[in-house]
């Protein structure tokens, strides 16, 4: 007979019937506790006689109204936890007070006064024991079934501090994961036990994982430095465990944490480097109290620029995008952000000196504008209507293979869209115009990179022209590499491929790229704009280049899986090499020349790049436009070679 053959019918009963059964059992326990109390006190067992019936009726009369009032019959017993037993205790504190007052303090003839103490103790034990029994008898069905339906998740928690202790308490109460130990760097904690769980040293993690059959390592180290965090993650690489991080401390404190709340490692963990804190004064300089306009506001970089900008209280934020859906999504998100910031400001009674602009009045106007950066008339109308002081130009076609196959459209958008925006900005008296550029503009091998370098040349030439004409617009550009998490980035693609069981597709095993996270890139763009003097080409320090193959294997290992290759034919995820795409480079560069100049920010450098005068560039742009109209791909590439000396199409 199956283990749950007699129990499952009970679980299938209507809730009202099950509640009736519980009340009936509690009646029996109540009567039994009175009978036992008299038997223990009088040292004899027998039927209720005389006043003993009054005690039995009083016990029922006192207990059941209290049980109903305190909600003892609302709980599902097989899921009952600590909170329910606290409720039972509260009910019995009141019950004991009543029963003790009547039968001990006041006294009833024929009833020993000690009954007022003995009976509540016996009833409390009986009610509590019945709940525990039902929890483990019926709840065990679900636990056994779950255990066989999925492989048991066995976890180590890295960090035995307060965060780790709250996490293990939540996981134990939820029965979702078996925690076999803590790991902690503190020698004073090593060897001790917390909730009956041993704290292990951090000396031989791989052996411990193998010995305890660990499937998951949960990082509960919110206060540790990024450097130490990277060391810990590196030590877990290749251990065939899934590495996940701590959820929010608010959820921990409320005891609501479940396994689904634990999240995979973020992009900073994958990059394995420290993020330099932003300079608040630089973030505020071109934003606080100003009208700010962002083109390509619905894109990966544009939308993150908007998220960063709105934190520093611009007078208004103008969003331009040609995609209706993308514009709608970021507009709705920013409206919700404004409401949250307003709530936070009113909830705080003290000034926040870390982000002074957050204490400013949050009457920020949001203006979503559907328009193409190539449409001069639409742009002119928007600029004259809103009068922006700062423009971040993030609108661009950036996907290398698509632009390679559609070179004319890529150039029209990236080159002439930038030219149109810059000319309108100059005409309307914009104070600062910042182009979001790319490392692919350096000695490009693809049309996208070449088009972005020409966009840089446009701004350099227009900056030179503006300075000669003594016009106010300050043109600058910020060049950086790949952004983890952006549309088309390898990290989300690899995550989706791992979730689907593979294979991971990689163009070449030796491809390397510079990476940073979207928020970090956006903050650095804003800070660089504050240091611009005119015609500046800013280069962001992206750290060491990352080999894409290594990034892919790291993501596989930290998902608790193995790479499938010749050495491990029974692995989980295969990495399939597909070959370099048209225009793709093995290595990216950030500088055309040498000796970049440092700035006041440790992550931002200033490059010295040659450029054409506006008169010479204008003639070449006219020739390029004629080539675009002819749709002659060969002629277009020849014009790109002439304009961008380092351009070498492959």
User: C-alpha dihedral over 464, 466, 467, 472, to 10 degrees?
Assistant: -140
Ramachandran angles phi, psi of 394, nearest 5°: -110, -5
CA distance 481 to 484: 10
154, containing H or E segment: strand 154-158
Ramachandran angles phi, psi of 632, nearest 5°: -90, 105
- CB neighbour burial string for 622-649, b if at least 16 within 10 angstroms, e if fewer: eebeebbeeeeeeebbebbeebbeebeb
Give the tokens for residue 372.
């193409």
Residues near 255 by Cβ (< 8 Å), separated by ≥ 6? Answer: 169, 170, 173
Q: Are strands 604-607 and 597-598 parallel, antiparallel or unpaired?
A: antiparallel
Between CA 53 and CA 62, with CA 58 as vertex, the angle to 5 degrees is: 155
Closest CA to 318 of 260, 257, 390, 263: 390
Q: CA torsion sign, 241 to 246 to 247 to 253? A: positive
| Cβ(612)–Cβ(620) below 8 Å | yes
Give the tokens for residue 97.
């007070």
Q: CA torsion sign, 520 to 527 to 366 to 359? A: positive
Centroid of chain to Cα 468: 48
Q: Are strands 365-370 and 390-393 parallel, antiparallel or unpaired?
A: unpaired
Active site residues per annotation: 440
User: Where in 331-473 does DSSP place strands (E)?
Assistant: 365-370, 390-393, 432-438
Closest CA to 448 of 421, 476, 508, 488: 488
Give the tokens for residue 414.
């990236």
CA distance 541 to 109: 90
3-state secondary structure at position 36: helix
User: C-alpha dihedral over 172, 175, 180, 181, to 10 degrees?
Assistant: -30
Residues near 71 by Cβ (< 8 Å), separated by ≥ 6? Answer: 87
| Cβ(394)–Cβ(434) below 8 Å | no
Closest CA to 266 of 499, 503, 519, 481: 519
Closest CA to 482 of 323, 301, 306, 233: 301
């Amino acid at each position: 007979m199956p283990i749950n053959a007699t129990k499952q019918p009970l679980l299938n009963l209507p809730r009202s019937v099950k509640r009736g059964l519980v009340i009936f059992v509690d009646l029996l326990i109540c009567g039994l506790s009175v009978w036992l109390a008299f038997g223990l006190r009088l040292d004899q067992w027998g039927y209720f006689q005389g006043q003993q019936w009054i005690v039995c009726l009083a016990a029922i009369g006192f207990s059941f109204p209290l049980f109903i009032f305190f909600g003892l019959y609302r709980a599902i017993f097989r899921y009952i936890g600590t909170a329910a037993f606290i409720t039972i205790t509260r009910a019995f504190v009141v019950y004991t007070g009543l029963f003790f007052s009547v039968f001990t303090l006041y006294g009833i003839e024929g009833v020993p006064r000690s009954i007022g103490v003995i009976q509540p103790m016996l009833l409390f034990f009986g009610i509590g024991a019945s709940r525990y029994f039902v929890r483990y008898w019926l709840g065990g069905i679900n636990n056994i079934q779950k255990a066989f339906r999925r492989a048991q998740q066995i976890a180590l928690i890295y960090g035995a501090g307060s965060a780790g202790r709250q996490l293990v308490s939540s996981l134990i109460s939820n029965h979702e994961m078996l925690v076999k130990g803590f790991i902690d760097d503190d020698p004073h904690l090593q060897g001790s036990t917390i909730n009956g769980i041993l704290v292990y040293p951090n000396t031989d993690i791989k052996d411990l994982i193998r010995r305890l059959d660990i499937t998951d390592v949960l990082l509960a180290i919110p206060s540790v430095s990024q450097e130490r965090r990277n060391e810990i993650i590196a030590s877990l690489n290749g251990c065939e465990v899934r590495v996940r991080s701590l959820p929010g401390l608010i959820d921990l404190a409320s005891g609501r944490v479940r396994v689904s709340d634990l999240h995979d490692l973020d992009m900073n963990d994958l990059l394995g480097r420290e993020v330099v804190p932003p300079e608040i004064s630089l973030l505020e300089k071109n934003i606080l109290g100003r009208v700010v306009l962002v083109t390509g506001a619905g894109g990966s970089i544009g939308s993150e620029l908007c998220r960063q900008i709105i934190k520093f209280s611009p007078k208004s934020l103008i969003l331009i995008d040609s995609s209706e859906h993308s514009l709608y999504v970021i507009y709705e998100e920013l409206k919700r952000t404004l409401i949250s910031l307003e709530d936070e400001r009113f909830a705080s009674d003290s000034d926040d000196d870390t982000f002074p602009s957050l204490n400013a009045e949050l009457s920020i106007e949001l203006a979503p504008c559907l328009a193409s950066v190539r449409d001069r008339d639409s742009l002119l109308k928007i600029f004259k209507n809103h009068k922006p002081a700062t423009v971040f130009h993030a609108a661009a076609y950036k996907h290398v293979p698509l632009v390679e196959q559609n070179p004319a459209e890529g150039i029209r958008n990236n080159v002439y869209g930038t030219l149109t925006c810059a000319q309108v900005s100059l005409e309307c008296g914009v104070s600062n115009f910042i182009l979001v550029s790319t490392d692919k503009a350096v000695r490009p091998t693809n049309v996208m990179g070449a088009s972005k370098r020409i966009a840089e040349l446009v701004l350099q030439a227009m900056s030179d022209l503006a300075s000669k004409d003594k016009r106010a617009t300050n043109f600058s550009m910020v060049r950086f590499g790949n952004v983890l998490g952006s549309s088309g980035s390898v990290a989300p693609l690899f995550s989706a491929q791992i979730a689907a069981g593979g294979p991971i597709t990689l163009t070449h095993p030796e491809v390397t790229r510079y990476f940073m996270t979207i928020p970090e890139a956006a903050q650095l763009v804003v800070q660089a704009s504050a240091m611009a003097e005119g015609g500046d080409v800013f280069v962001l320090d992206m750290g060491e280049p990352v080999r894409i193959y290594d990034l892919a294997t790291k993501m596989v290992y930290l998902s608790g899986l193995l790479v499938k290759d010749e050495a491990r034919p029974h692995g989980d995820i295969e990495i399939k090499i597909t070959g370099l795409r048209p225009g793709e480079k093995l290595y990216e560069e950030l500088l055309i020349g040498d000796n970049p100049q440092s700035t006041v920010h440790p992550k931002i450098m200033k490059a010295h790049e040659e450029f054409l005068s506006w008169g010479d560039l204008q003639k070449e742009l006219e020739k390029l436009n004629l080539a675009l109209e002819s749709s002659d791909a060969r002629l277009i590439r020849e014009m790109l070679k002439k304009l961008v000396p380092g351009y070498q199409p492959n």
